[in-house]
Amino acid sequence: MTDIAERTTLTQKLGVDIDPELLSLALTHRSFAYENGGLPHNERLEFLGDAILGQAVTVRLYTTLPDLDEGSLAKRRASVVSTVALAEVARGVDLGAHLRLGRGEEQTGGRDKDSILADTMEAVIGATYLSAGPDAATALVLRLVEPLLADPERYGAAMDPKTSLQELAARRGAAPPAYSVESAGPDHSRVFTATVIVDDITTRGTGTSKKTAEMAAALRAWQELSASA
């Protein structure tokens, strides 16, 4: 499949038309840019998309949950815009398959790293804003995060997945989750991979720190264990 066909497939999943050049930029990780002569990459679009994402989610929560105080609203917003949550959203549209990555990231599983997926998702939102306007960008955000907003059980797990997993395991009479963490890469760009075993489930997560990798692995385990209940 050609690059054009692949990106058409992505825009169909997203439900919005994005200028091809902007979409290509949104999908370009800095590792690819550096390996190809210093091309532009997606970090500026990511900065823009982060602001649009935060505003759209904040307004939705404020208008649909009038009885919640500021602290509760902030927690719910954090659970939806977190790296782990955005990476899950990205996997839902198979965003990893469309990334432009450098060889090093390709070899170390960059297409499924939570941090890269979340950052790219924000960049795609930014590209949508510039290409189709603020209303289209807001509509895209809400379509992507609606399943997260509609599931109140996710809030606690997304905010503190390790504690939520431990509590779920205890309720099921299982042993506490057991974690192990490995790291790879140079000191300035080290990637951590955490593995958690609980009950009969084994999941993995990646991140730029031991903590974020364990959180990603724990959330996946919580989701699988919840689904098997």
Catalytic center residues:
50, 122
Nearest to 105 by CA among 14, 4, 198, 36: 36
Q: By the 8 A CB rule, do 149 and 63 touch? A: no
Bridge partners (DSSP) listed for residue 193: 182, 206
Where are the strands (E) in the chain, listed by range?
Answer: 178-184, 191-198, 201-207
**Distance separating alpha carbons of residues 118 and 229, to the nearest angstrom:** 28
Cα radius of gyration rounded to whole Å, the chain: 18
Helix axes 114-132, 134-149, angle to 10 degrees: 140
